[in-house]
Amino acid sequence: MGAPPDALARVESLRQQLALHNYRYYVLDDPLISDAEWDQMLRELIDLEHHYPELISADSPTQRVGATPSDEFASARHRVPMLSLDNAFSDEEVRAFDRRVRERLELADTAPAVRYSAEPKLDGLAISVIYEKGQLVRAATRGDGTVGEDVTANIRTIRAVPLRLNGHAPALIEARGEVFMPRAGFEQLNRQAAERGEKVFANPRNAAAGSLRQLDPRVTAKRPLEIFFYALGSVEGMTFPVSHSETLSALKELGLRVSPETAQVEGAEGCLQYFASLQRRRATLDYEIDGVVYKVDSLVSQSRLGFLSRAPRWAIAHKFPAEEATTLLREVEFQVGRTGALTPVARLTPVVVGGVTVSNATLHNMDEIERKDVRIGDTVVVRRAGDVIPEVARVVISRRPSDAQAVRLPSHCPVCGAAVRREPDAAVARCTGEFSCKAQRKERLRHFAARRALDIEGLGDKLIEQVVDAGLVATPADIFTLTRGQLAALERMGEKSADNVLSAIERSKETTLARFLFALGIREVGEATAAALAQHFGSLEALLGASFEQVQQVPDVGPVVAAQLTDFFARDENRRVISQLQQAGVRWPRIDSRSAQMDQPLTGLTFVLTGSLESMSRDQAEDRLRALGARASGSVSKKTSYVIAGADAGSKLAKAEALGVPVLDEAALIEILDQRRLPN
């Protein structure tokens, strides 16, 4: 009994629609339907194929996962060798590459700049995918460049790889690209592995490679793999385009995903500009790249340039400085933070990581040390990404000396000698010395005087060290008792600097309740919570009088924060400091909380400010937005309502544009603040 014609028609139509929507989603990055609608169509197709198995075809989207795992991968010989790339590590090496290209092409000095295609160097693994008459027939890893492994069954499970090409496909086309695992997917995969007590992958590239080299395609199907295509291998029944950029357009038209970051640039200087701009945006990409590839765009020029051993003369990979390096862990010391938390810090043999010399790196806490099995004397991998604090990523176990020593949590604070307490189930160990611990004192004062707190200009790390060591200041209230004579007597302080500091201290007295609460350094009370508390209670007195339950009425305040607050305000010492501060003249405008709450036209909106504003500082703008009920955040996400971009806005602006978050300029911000509403 054959399938009825309408079932056949429906199956065909579903497959076509599913392929179209996959193309819109992955290749054009412009989906027309929701994931749920896509899933529903797929389910309908699965049902139909279940009823009429004779309608199943190899290119049906239901057939991505083949049933049988294999014992080993078959080898696959490449029709055209898969080459590697030469590397450049400096601007000078890129200029030298461009000069070599010009010489080989016999271009006169006066001839125009060479046009290059510049694209991200994706950190995954190279793959070749062959389509015959539009059908995916084979996929292979690069292997040694001549022979790779046949991973067709696994590549078929990657949804971004079409099983059938769009439109009028040539007799044969071999597309080459990079399979990679996006950061978010990698982190989730590792979290799941850790929960099950399984081995985690060191980085997304290893995770991608490990996922593709699974003998059971059902495992690969569960891994979040993606792909960008960046080259043609061999083709039959189609004329080659004339340039690399046209090749990419042709791939895209056939339904093969290419990187949206690719650009055409002119000469070495164009390459270097592209490099700098991609390096700035690197952290905003949701996958890892390790540099930029420049390719001579004209294919005629490419063939004139030819190859040298395993790499083409017409392309080069310009690598970002390595973000990881190995070095020796000489010692572990414990730093005491504002809340007494002991942070283990690795003292290293200095090493250059990402272009910066690193001699200290964080080990986070004792749990991390145990998890990574870090010992003193180990050779460790240090990682530094963007602006984050360098960390010890892992140990090179094979290089562990026999006398490597375990790291011990000290029983007493290395600064004040008070007992160290580690609460059960908590990763953090703390010094119990509180204000009597000089390290905690200094950190609390540093926090109190910081720009986003009381903003006491000139009272920096160095001066805090001095006034605490000299016994002049122990609590924030003591700052306001400092005299000109005391300050001027300190090393490297003259009367002039003393006066400057004193007037900064004077200016800081005029503040806001939110800043004041934040400045107190109560555990779990960051800027946003402080602002919410100020807004809700309107006055310090109201907050001090609030019960544990009442504090939890504030948005975002749960039992943990509430416990910290009530604990903090219950202590005589803290109450005393607060009243001393008020007596010293620290003051803020009263917030009429009821009317303030009713008059919060920007409630529910999140703003991110970036770049510099002309008419006010970023902090001032954030304070004013908060006063209207908005949230001010430091990072752009899909949840951001608006990004306000001042002059020289950088990566946050780029990210907003990438995510489609509306961007406003300073004039629009001023209008919002003045009109107390969003522009029309």
Contact footprint for ligand IVH (CB under 6 A)? 83-85, 119, 121-122, 126, 142, 178, 230-231, 293, 312, 315, 317
Amino acid at 453: A
Rounded-to-integer distance, Cα 21 and Cα 34, Å: 10
**Closest CB 246 distance from ligand IVH, rounded Å:** 16
Name the closest residue to ligand IVH (Cβ): 126
| Closest CB to ligand IVH among residues 42, 147 | 147
| Closest CB to ligand IVH among residues 179, 392 | 179
What's the Cα-to-Cα distance from 432 to each of 58, 409, 524, 577, rounded to whole Å?
Answer: 67, 14, 18, 19
121, 442, 652, 655: the active-site residue = 121
What is the per-residue DSSP string for 206-220?
HHHHHHHT-SSHHHH
Given a contact cutoff of 8 angstroms between Cβ atoms, the answer to whether 173 and 232 are in contact is: yes
**Closest CB 231 distance from ligand IVH, rounded Å:** 5
Rounded-to-integer distance, Cα 21 and Cα 15, Å: 10
| Closest CB to ligand IVH among residues 294, 569 | 294
| Closest CB to ligand IVH among residues 77, 590 | 77
**Closest CB 83 distance from ligand IVH, rounded Å:** 4
**Which residues lie closer than 8 Å to 549 by C-beta, 6 or more apart?**
none
What is the per-residue DSSP string for 58-120?
TTSGGGSS-S---SSPPEEE-SS------EE-SHHHHHHHHHHHHHHTT--TTSPPPEEEEEE
Strand pairing category for 289-296 and 315-319: antiparallel
Given a contact cutoff of 8 angstroms between Cβ atoms, the answer to whether 343 and 371 are in contact is: no
Given a contact cutoff of 8 angstroms between Cβ atoms, the answer to whether 163 and 156 are in contact is: yes
Rounded-to-integer distance, Cα 180 and Cα 209, Å: 8
| Closest CB to ligand IVH among residues 44, 261 | 261
| Closest CB to ligand IVH among residues 61, 312 | 312
**Closest CB 100 distance from ligand IVH, rounded Å:** 16
| Closest CB to ligand IVH among residues 300, 396 | 300
The single-letter DSSP state of residue 21 is H
Helix axes 651-659, 267-281, angle to 10 degrees: 80
φ/ψ (deg, to 5) at 151: -115, 30
Rounded-to-integer distance, Cα 418 and Cα 441, Å: 14
| Closest CB to ligand IVH among residues 27, 669 | 27
**Which residues lie closer than 8 Å to 476 by C-beta, 6 or more apart?**
444, 445, 448, 454, 519, 520, 577, 581
**Closest CB 467 distance from ligand IVH, rounded Å:** 54
**Closest CB 64 distance from ligand IVH, rounded Å:** 23
Residue 121 a catalytic site member? yes
If one counts every other C-beta atom within 10 angstroms of the C-beta of residue 582, the result is 15
**Closest CB 73 distance from ligand IVH, rounded Å:** 18
**Closest CB 126 distance from ligand IVH, rounded Å:** 3
**Closest CB 161 distance from ligand IVH, rounded Å:** 16
| Closest CB to ligand IVH among residues 66, 182 | 182
What's the Cα-to-Cα distance from 18 to each of 32, 44, 130, 291, rounded to whole Å?
Answer: 11, 11, 21, 34
What's the Cα-to-Cα distance from 218 to each of 207, 214, 221, rounded to whole Å?
Answer: 16, 9, 5
What's the Cα-to-Cα distance from 660 to each of 593, 605, 655, rounded to whole Å?
Answer: 35, 16, 8
β-sheet bridge partners, residue 260: none
- Active centre residues (catalytic): 121
